[in-house]
Amino acid sequence: MKKSTLKKSSKVERARVRLDDAVVRLEKALGQQGGPTPSPSGDEVQTREMEALRGENSRLKEINQTVSARLDGAIGRLNAVIGEA
């Protein structure tokens, strides 16, 4: 007589199947309710964050221009000193 090739699923596999089934049921329930609606306050928060980032970017550009001008001046003075030597 042959041995059965069927294996009993492990506890982990059975738990995984139950979890998958539960997730499917939750997704169906959310779908029937129309799903979560995006919060308008989330858009407002993103808008404020974007404005703050644009302001910071503008300030950094100004600082970059100032530093660049100062470095150009220092390089010019160094070239003048080297050229005189």
Residue 6 structure tokens: 């069927």
**pTM of the shown model:** 0.45
| pLDDT tens-digit profile, the chain (85 residues) | 555 566 667 888 888 888 888 888 888 887 777 655 555 677 888 999 999 999 999 999 999 999 999 999 999 999 999 986 5
Q: DSSP letter string over the chain?
A: -PPP---PPPHHHHHHHHHHHHHHHHHHHHHHTT-PPPPHHHHHHHHHHHHHHHHHHHHHHHHHHHHHHHHHHHHHHHHHHHHH-
